[in-house]
């Protein structure tokens, strides 16, 4: 039955493309109430997709947007068929137990494609799952566009063959991506990174900023960013909490502002900290916030963070940070074999991302000092204590870090990425282009 529906849908899509090509004008295309299906699995991707959706609807209000995503996309006007961000995982050991579930999600998407009416699919990051969405979309002749593509230039470069087979166009967010994907014969347009849209659009909430200032009127605040995925928070927060305990003992006036991405992360961090306080009998100078990441970053003198794309916001706001990421031994060993870049933090991979050290020896240091931690967590804790402690107590070192970030911000943190992506996406779906897209991916 599904195959019959699929065949009919495919024929309908082909007939629609024929009509659009014959009519040859965007006004006619718009009156058909185009539908774009998004597939987004990461919390950060949910935010990027939401901005793209708003930019698309601003240009073409009659668009219908549906798909897999999260609450930010829902608020932007997307009909969310599945909150995929609740299922975000990283690493093969975390993926394996959920394979059956993810194949079920892919089947759900294919049923939507088979029913007809989807004019394009937009993928945002989350490659392990989105390869399956792209492959199934192509079965029905649906154009596939990748926004915020996977970092194949960093690791897993062999997967570019999958990209070339199933993706019609890449909307690149980093300069290196345009060169990499274009060099492999995949049509690519550089639009810039949507994180810089978020920074330029958002004005810090005045009441939150006052609350942060009131919490430590005479001292510096350290932002603590424990990650956006639940497993990241559970793995990294205990290490951060131990580092906070040591740093607060050495810097008694300093406060630590924890920015939780989800309410359940907020509760977990707060509960864990309360248990540590009860066990030690010494209260820790921590304030917990939920949904206030930008305000916490803007206010803080420096930060400790779990590696992630939020590093781009820290760069744009010129907030120096120490970066940590805890991984299991298997994933660490696997990563050593396949990762082709020397840093896990995006700003560190940008040209001019290192500069003269403050030790007078002319040494170079990554703009965001980082550690990948495996095994004994004490090493990661000691790194955070040493690096953040230096930022708190060495004004020259902190100023040098801010100068490095200012240079990167001025060169790379240009807003307007989502508007440029929306314009390019609608151009790709114009009548004279849409009929050709599936041929390029065949």
pLDDT band at 414 (very low <50, low <70, confident <90, very high): confident
337 and 433 part of one domain: no
Contacts of 111 (CB under 8 A, 6+ apart): 2
Question: Degrees (nearest 5) of the Cα angle 39, 42, 45?
Answer: 70
Answer whether residue 199 is part of any domain. no
Higher per-residue confidence, 340 vs 184: 184
User: Is 49 among the domain residues?
Assistant: yes
Distance CA 151, CA 307 (A): 15
328 and 312 within one domain:
yes
C-alpha to C-alpha distance for 165 and 91, rounded to whole angstroms: 24
Structure token pair of residue 201: 């659009």
Q: Which residue did the predictor score with more confidence, 373 or 96? A: 373
| Together in a domain, 305 and 384 | yes
Residues 37 and 185 in one domain: yes
pLDDT in tens, 254-267: 999 999 989 999 99
Distance CA(90)–CA(230), nearest Å, equals: 11
Question: Which of 330, 332, 285, 322 shows the shortest CA–CA distance to 302?
Answer: 322
Supply 57's token pair.
């609807």
Give the model's pLDDT for residue 17: 40
Instruction: Kindly tell me if the per-residue pLDDT of 172 is higher than 90.
Output: yes
- Cβ atoms of 190 and 414 within 8 Å: the answer is no
Q: How many domains does the chain have?
A: 2
Residues 319 and 249 in one domain: yes
Least confident window among 92-106, 195-209, 331-345: 331-345
Handedness of CA 186, 187, 190, 191 (dihedral sign): negative
**Type and span of the H or E element at 305:** strand 302-306
Q: Within its chain, how far is the Cα of 42 from the centroid?
A: 6
- Same domain membership, residue 232 and residue 330: yes
The pLDDT value recorded for residue 156 is 65
Please give the average per-residue pLDDT across 93-117, as a whole number. Answer: 81
Which structure tokens are listed for 348?
A: 């560190």
| pLDDT, mean of residues 110-119 | 96
State residue 341's pLDDT score. Answer: 56
Q: Does residue 420 belong to any structural domain of this protein?
A: yes
φ and ψ at 285, to 5 degrees?
-80, 70
Is 197 a member of any domain? no
Name residues whose C-beta falls within 8 Å of residue 348's C-beta, 6 or more positions apart in sequence: 342, 354, 366, 367, 368, 370
pLDDT at res. 440? 47
Confidence check: pLDDT of 190 > 90: yes
In 113-237, beta strands by DSSP E? 120-124, 144-147, 169-172, 188-190, 221-225
Mean of pLDDT values over 206-217: 90
Lowest mean pLDDT among 151-160, 206-215, 358-367, 415-424: 358-367
Residue 160 belongs to domain spanning: 2-192+416-441
Give residue 334's pLDDT band: very low, low, confident or very high (50, 70, 90). very low
Does 326 fall in a domain? Answer: yes
Confidence of residue 328 (pLDDT cuts 50, 70, 90): low
Mean pLDDT of 346-362: 57
Task: Please give the mean pLDDT across all residues of the chain.
Answer: 84
Give the tokens for residue 170: 């890449």
pLDDT digits (tens, 9 = 90+) for 15-27: 344 333 333 333 3
Distances (CA, A) of 201 to 197, 204, 337, 418: 6, 10, 40, 12
In the chain, the percentage of residues whose pLDDT exceeds 90 is: 61
Residue 352 pLDDT level (bands cut at 50, 70, 90): low
Coil, helix or strand for 434? helix
- 86 and 32 in one domain? yes
Higher pLDDT, 341 or 166: 166
Q: Is residue 200 part of a domain?
A: no
Of the pLDDT bands very low, low, confident and very high (cuts 50, 70, 90), residue 361 is very low
Q: How much helix, strand and coil, in percent to the nearest 5, is found in the chain?
A: 55, 15, 30
195 within 8 A of 312, measured Cβ to Cβ: yes
Q: Which residue has the higher pLDDT, 295 or 357?
A: 295
Is residue 185 domain-shared with residue 302, that is, in the same domain?
no
Q: What is the pLDDT of residue 11?
A: 40
Q: Residues 42, 56: contact at Cβ < 8 Å?
A: no
Which of the two residues, 344 and 340, has the higher pLDDT score? 344
| The pLDDT value given to residue 40 | 96
Task: Output 15 or 207, whichever has higher pLDDT.
Answer: 207
381 plus 424 within the same structural domain: no
Q: Is 431 helix (H, G, I), strand (E, B) or coil?
A: helix
The yes-or-no verdict on residue 152 having pLDDT over 50 is yes
pLDDT digits (tens, 9 = 90+) for 56-72: 999 999 999 999 999 99
How do 188-190 and 169-172 pair as beta strands?
A: parallel
**CATH code of the domain covering residue 98:** 3.40.50.2000
Query: What tokens were used for 14?
Result: 């082909």
- Average pLDDT on 136-155 reads 90
> How large is the average pLDDT for residues 216-237?
92
| 369 and 288, same domain (yes or no) | yes
Tell me the pLDDT band of 9, cut-offs 50, 70 and 90: very low
Q: 198 in a domain, yes or no?
A: no
| Shared domain check, 225 and 296 | yes
pLDDT at 288: 97
Same domain, 188 and 273: no
Is pLDDT above 60 for 7?
A: no
Average pLDDT rounded to a whole number, residues 182-198: 92
Say if strands 144-147 and 169-172 run parallel, antiparallel, or are unpaired.
parallel
- Per the domain annotation, does 433 fall within a domain? yes
The pair of structure tokens assigned to 25 is 């004008």
Quote the crossing angle between the two packed helices 263-280 and 230-250, to the nearest 10°. Answer: 40
């Amino acid at each position: 039955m599904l195959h019959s529906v699929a065949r009919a849908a495919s024929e309908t899509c082909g007939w629609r493309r024929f009509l659009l090509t014959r009519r040859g004008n965007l006004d006619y295309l718009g009156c058909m109430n185009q539908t774009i299906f998004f597939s987004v699995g990461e919390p950060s991707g949910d935010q990027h997709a939401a901005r793209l959706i708003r930019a698309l609807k601003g240009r073409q209000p009659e668009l219908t947007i549906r798909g897999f995503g999260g609450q930010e996309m829902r608020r932007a006007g997307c009909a969310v068929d599945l909150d995929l961000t609740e299922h975000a995982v990283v690493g093969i050991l975390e993926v394996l137990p959920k394979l059956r579930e993810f194949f079920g999600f892919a089947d759900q998407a294919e049923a939507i494609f088979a029913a007809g009416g989807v004019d394009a699919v937009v993928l945002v990051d989350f490659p392990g799952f989105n390869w399956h969405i792209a492959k199934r979309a192509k079965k029905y002749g649906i154009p596939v566009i990748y926004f915020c593509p996977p970092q194949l230039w960093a690791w897993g470069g062999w997967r570019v063959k999958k990209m070339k087979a199933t993706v019609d166009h890449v909307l690149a967010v980093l300069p290196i991506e345009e060169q990499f994907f274009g060099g492999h014969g995949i049509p690519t347009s550089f639009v810039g990174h949507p994180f810089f849209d978020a920074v330029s659009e958002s004005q810090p909430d005045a009441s939150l900023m006052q609350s942060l200032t009131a919490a430590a009127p005479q001292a510096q605040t350290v932002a603590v960013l424990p990650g956006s995925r639940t497993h990241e928070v559970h793995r990294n927060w205990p290490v951060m909490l131990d580092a906070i305990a040591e740093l607060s003992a050495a810097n008694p006036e300093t406060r630590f502002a924890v920015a939780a991405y989800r309410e359940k992360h907020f509760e977990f961090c707060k509960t864990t900290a309360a248990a540590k306080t009860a066990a030690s009998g010494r209260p820790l100078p921590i304030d917990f916030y939920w949904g206030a990441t930008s305000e916490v970053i803007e206010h803080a003198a420096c930060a400790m963070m779990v590696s992630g794309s939020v590093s781009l916001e820290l760069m744009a706001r010129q907030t120096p940070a120490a970066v940590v990421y805890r991984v299991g031994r298997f994933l660490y060993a696997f990563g050593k074999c396949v990762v082709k870049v020397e840093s896990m933090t995006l700003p560190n991979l940008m040209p001019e991302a290192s500069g003269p050290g403050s030790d007078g020896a002319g040494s170079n240091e990554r703009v965001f000092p980082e550690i990948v931690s495996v095994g004994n967590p004490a090493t990661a804790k000691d790194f955070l204590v040493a690096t953040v402690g230096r930022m708190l107590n060495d004004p020259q070192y902190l100023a040098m870090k801010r100068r490095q970030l200012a240079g990167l911000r001025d060169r790379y943190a240009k807003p307007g990425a989502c508007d440029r992506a929306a314009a390019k996406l609608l151009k790709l779906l114009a009548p004279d282009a849409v009929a050709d897209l599936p041929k390029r991916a065949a």
